Structure formats: C-alpha cells, structure tokens
C-alpha cells in the first residue's frame, strides 16, 4: 500500500521467541501463525487463544460533542451508549459505502474507538478533517497495546490477573481496572464467535501480561494465535472483514448489517443513499456459500449461475467448525443470493458446485 | 536437515523416488512446513502426459495456493486418492503416505536436472 517502514508492536520479540511466522499486515510486522492455523483455531473453539491485536488503531475521543458528532458520521447509535458499553459501528461515505467498521467503547470521561489497522491512516486523516465543536482526538496507534483472549475458558484464564471481577461482565461491556497491576480497559468483546476479552493496556505492560497468561495457562491448553486463525474464526462466525465484506463501495446493507443501520437517527453520512437502497432492495449483497467439495474458494473467484457470472467470492476458507467444509462469502446479484440457490464457483477454469446458505457458518453452543 | 535416502529433489521442493521407470512424486518436509496446514491438493489426471518442471497442479494451505511443478516428465500412472479426504497426510508424512502421484518416466536423462539430497539440503539451508 505504501513504502513506509513496517512497525512492530510491543509484543514483536515475544512472537519471535514463540517461533511465529511474521508477515506484513496493516503496516505492522504481525504473527500470521505459530504452531499452525488449524491447531490455533481449535484452541480458541475448545479452550482459549491469545492474540496480539496491537496493530489495530486505538483513538481516544474526548469532549462534550463527541456523541452527536459521531452519530452524524456513523450508521449505528452512539449517543444512546451508556458508560462502559461497547458497540459495533460503521463510518459511512455519502454513498453509504463503508469508510471503516469500528467499535466504540464509552467510558465515563472519554471514548475509545478501535479502527482497523489497514484503515488507520485513512481514518485518522478523515476524523481529523471532520472535527468540529468540542471534540478532541488522540491517536494512540502503536503506543497502546491490545491483547485478546478468546475461547470458552478465557474468563477463568484471565480473571486471576484482573483486579475487577470479570465473571459477570456482560457481552459488549467493559471495565476500567488494573491488569497485572497496570491500569487497563478489559472488554468482553472479540472477533472469533467465542466468549472472550480484549485488554487495552500500555505497550510497556503488554509483554508481562502476554507471558504470564501463556505460562499460567499452558496446562489448560491456551495457544498463542496469529492472524491466520483469526480470519478463519471470524469467517465461520459470519463477521465481516473490512476490504472483503465491507469496502468504500460495499454498504452495510449489502454486507447484511441492516441491524446496525439506524434510520431513526435524524442525520448521518450516507443516510439518503442507504434509505434509497433499502427501499429498492435490488442490490448485490453478501451471501454465505458452502461448496460441495473441499476446494477452497478464494477472494476474487467468479461465482456462476447457469454459466453466467453472478458475483465474486469475497472471503473463503476451509471451516473446521463447519465440518471441514469449504465455505465462503460472495457478493452476489440479489436473485442468486437467496438461501438454497445452487451456484458454481470458478476455480482455475473449472466450475465447482456450491449452495447459498444463511450466515453464520458457526454459532457457539 | 537430513533427507530420506534414495530420493532426488527439485529446486521447487518436490521429491522423486525412482523404481525402474516408475517415478513417485511428492513435496518435501521443508515444503510442507513452509506451506503450513494443507487443506487441498489438485493433482493431474491419470493418463495425463507431464513435461518436466511443468506446472501440473496446486497444493493449497489455509492461506495460500501454491503451484506444483513436476520434477519429472511422463504419463501419470496413479494418483494418491487418499489426499482428497485427508490432505493433511502431506503435513504428517510428506515422504510416505503424503505422496502425490506416480509417472512412467519418459526420459531417464531428466534425472540429471535434479538435485541430490546433499545439494537439496544446501539449497534449503541458504533459503
């Protein structure tokens, strides 16, 4: 994307020591895998996995006008959020396409906004350009660390190191507390389809937390997990990935995120375009599909119906939690996006049969 | 990293085991480790005629598609059907149960274009 030198998170040395395979991602040198993507995926579904997500941009928002300001730039409600609540949201352009999908965390005296790593530069410039009234932005990207622990056993693994009791912390809420003696935010959020927590803490405290969580939970089967496993986990859970299911051209409605678009809000960027799109209901949309065979359907492959292209694959993987099947999302013509429709996926010139299914591919029991 | 005895290797990390004029082909332990979890292998059809170093199929990991370049030319006699149901055999046993296909060697002289175990070890040590 650009020639800027790659940055490293506070946990880079820890990743190297664990034998991680490092790749460039979102401007950082990040672990794509340690032991292996499938083993890491299994750890998260069965026990717990530990992720370094410090490459994601953390932006602090302060000021009396933050809520009303953010409400005009995004599709979901911001002002209705209560302190310690977290909420998924999407910044939209005038045509209703997505600048980025984000999480807002409301704290008593400020807000924390988590932006995708790949959009960090774009979003920081956009937010600064949009500032008006009493809104102050602080870019903590690369300074603050984010460590996520995800999986059914994450609460018992993390709780001993958190001063507050996190057992009763509700999904999509957070608490300001000490973690390993360092002030941090602990949120019950994640991107894997499992129970889990995300810990926002100073970069200098990240390695201490990372090491102790791995050391103390090794017998319980925790695994350090890379971006490869994270992508499989989120795809199975039906969660969009910016650049794939959401782009500047793909709107939240097309991505199946109608639930996040609050037309009751008086004004927001792209509202008119999204209202027209919703009323018309005739637009290409993201659908799930399962192939008959095991060949992976990769992003960019054509989807065919009766020999004609009706869309393209946006994400695809083998899904261990869906019987090892080859699953994918595709952006499809509306007539071909209904559940049960038989389509073909063109893989290296050969058509492989697939069926449209409802998302997600996996839901925790 | 010691390679199993009696094999020849290509620079593209395939191995060949010769038994008379029948060559068994697979990918090396180094290759499977570099690829990571293998989830799909697309092999040539039985009866297909392969040209040495031609691109004759793919091996896919969770993240990536990699081409297979056949280390020897000839007609395909047999493919490893077990890989369809269990492609991870390539990870678990790359030199054994994870073999890819067998060809009837077209030209014995093609061996001269392949690497010995020592030369292959040197290649991956420099990689």
Q: How far is CA A86 from its chain centroid?
A: 14
CATH superfamily of the domain spanning A12-55+142-236: Probable tRNA modification gtpase trme; domain 1 (3.30.1360.120)
Confirm whether the ipTM is greater than 0.95.
no
pLDDT tens for each residue of B22-42? 999 999 999 999 999 999 999
Q: To probe the interface with A, which of B63, B68, B84, B91 has the most A CB atoms within 10 Å?
A: B63
Q: Which helix (H) or strand (E) holds A48?
A: strand A48-52
> What's the rounded Cα separation, in Å, for the pair B77 and B105?
10
B80 Cα to chain A: minimum distance (Å) = 16
The string of pLDDT tens digits covering residues A108-162 is: 999 999 999 999 999 999 999 999 999 999 999 989 999 999 999 999 999 999 9
β-partners of residue B20 are: none
- Note whether B23 and B16 are within 8 A (CB): yes
Q: What average pLDDT does chain A have?
A: 97
When pLDDT is cut at 50, 70 and 90, the band that residue A2 belongs to is low
CB proximity under 8 Å: A 218-237 to B: 228, 232
- Residues of B within 8 A of A296 (CB-CB) are 39-40, 60, 62, 65
CB-hemisphere CA count at 13 Å for A98? 28
- Which of these, B41, B37, B91, lies nearest to A38 by C-alpha position? B37
Asked whether A44 and A192 are in contact (CB, 8 A), the reply is yes
Dump pLDDT digits (tens) for A282-319.
999 999 999 999 999 999 999 999 999 999 999 999 99
Q: B63 at the A interface (CB within 8 A)?
A: yes
Topology, domain B8-106: OB fold (Dihydrolipoamide Acetyltransferase, E2P) (2.40.50)
Q: Do A12-55+142-236 and A284-357 show the same overall fold?
A: no
Which of B15, B1, B21, B22 has its CA nearest to residue B102? B22
A318/B contact by beta carbon, under 8 A: yes
- Stretch (H or E) spanning A301: none
Supply φ then ψ for residue B66, to 5 degrees: -125, 140
Q: Decide if pLDDT at A235 tops 80.
A: yes
CATH superfamily, domain A284-357, is Aminomethyltransferase beta-barrel domains (2.40.30.110)
**Measured distance CA(A187)–CA(A170) in Å, rounded:** 9
| Tens digit of each residue's pLDDT (9 = 90 or more) over A185-195 | 999 999 999 99
How far apart, in whole angstroms, are the C-alpha atoms of residue B38 and residue A266? 51
Residue B1's pLDDT is: 57
pLDDT in tens, B46-82: 999 999 999 999 999 999 999 999 999 999 999 999 9
User: For chain A, which residues make up each domain, given as ranges?
Assistant: 12-55+142-236, 284-357
Residues of A with CB below 8 A from B92's CB? none
């Amino acid at each position: 994307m650009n020639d800027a030198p790659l940055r490293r998170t506070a946990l880079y040395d820890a990743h190297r020591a664990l034998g991680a395979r490092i790749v460039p991602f979102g401007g950082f040198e990040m672990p794509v895998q340690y032991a292996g993507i499938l083993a890491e995926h299994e750890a998260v579904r069965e026990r717990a996995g530990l992720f370094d997500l410090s490459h994601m941009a953390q932006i602090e928002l302060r000021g009396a006008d933050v809520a009303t300001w953010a409400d005009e730039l995004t599709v979901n409600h911001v002002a209705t959020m209560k302190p310690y609540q977290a909420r998924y949201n999407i910044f939209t352009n005038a045509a209703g396409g997505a600048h980025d999908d984000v999480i807002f965390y409301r704290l008593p005296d400020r807000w924390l906004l988590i932006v995708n790593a790949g959009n960090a530069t774009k979003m920081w410039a956009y937010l600064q350009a949009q500032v008006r009234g009493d809104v102050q932005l602080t870019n903590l990207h690369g300074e603050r660390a984010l460590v996520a622990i995800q999986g059914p056993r994450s609460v018992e693994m993390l709780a001993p190191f958190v001063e507050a009791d996190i057992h009763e912390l509700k999904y999509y809420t957070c608490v300001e507390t000490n973690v390993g003696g360092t002030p941090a935010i602990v949120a019950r959020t994640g991107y894997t389809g499992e129970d889990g927590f995300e810990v926002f803490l100073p970069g200098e405290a990240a390695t201490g937390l990372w090491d102790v969580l791995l050391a103390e939970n090794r017998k319980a089967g925790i695994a350090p997990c890379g971006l490869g496993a994270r992508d499989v986990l989120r795809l199975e859970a039906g969660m969009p990935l910016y650049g794939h299911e959401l782009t500047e051209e793909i709107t939240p409605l097309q991505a199946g995120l109608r639930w996040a678009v609050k037309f009751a809000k008086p004004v927001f960027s792209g509202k008119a375009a999204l209202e027209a799109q919703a009323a018309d209901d005739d637009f290409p949309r993201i659908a799930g599909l399962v192939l008959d065979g095991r060949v992976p359907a990769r992003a960019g492959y054509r989807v065919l119906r009766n020999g004609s292209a009706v869309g393209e694959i946006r994400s695809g993987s083998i899904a261990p939690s869906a019987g090892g099947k080859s699953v994918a999302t595709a952006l499809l013509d509306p007539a071909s996006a209904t559940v049960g429709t038989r389509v073909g996926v063109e893989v290296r010139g050969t058509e492989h049969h697939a069926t449209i299914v409802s998302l997600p591919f996996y839901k925790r029991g | 990293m010691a390679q199993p005895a009696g094999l020849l290797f290509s620079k593209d990390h395939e191995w060949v085991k010769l038994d008379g004029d029948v060559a068994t082909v697979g990918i090396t332990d180094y290759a499977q480790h570099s690829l990571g979890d293998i989830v799909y292998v697309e092999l040539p059809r039985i009866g297909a005629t392969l040209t040495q170093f031609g691109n004759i199929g793919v091996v896919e990991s969770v993240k990536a598609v990699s081409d297979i370049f056949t280390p020897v030319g000839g007609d395909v006699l047999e493919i490893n059907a077990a890989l369809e149901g269990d492609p991870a055999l390539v990870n678990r046993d790359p030199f054994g149960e994870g073999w890819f296909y067998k060809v009837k060697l077209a030209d014995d002289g093609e061996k001269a274009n392949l690497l010995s175990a020592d030369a292959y070890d040197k290649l991956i040590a420099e990689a």
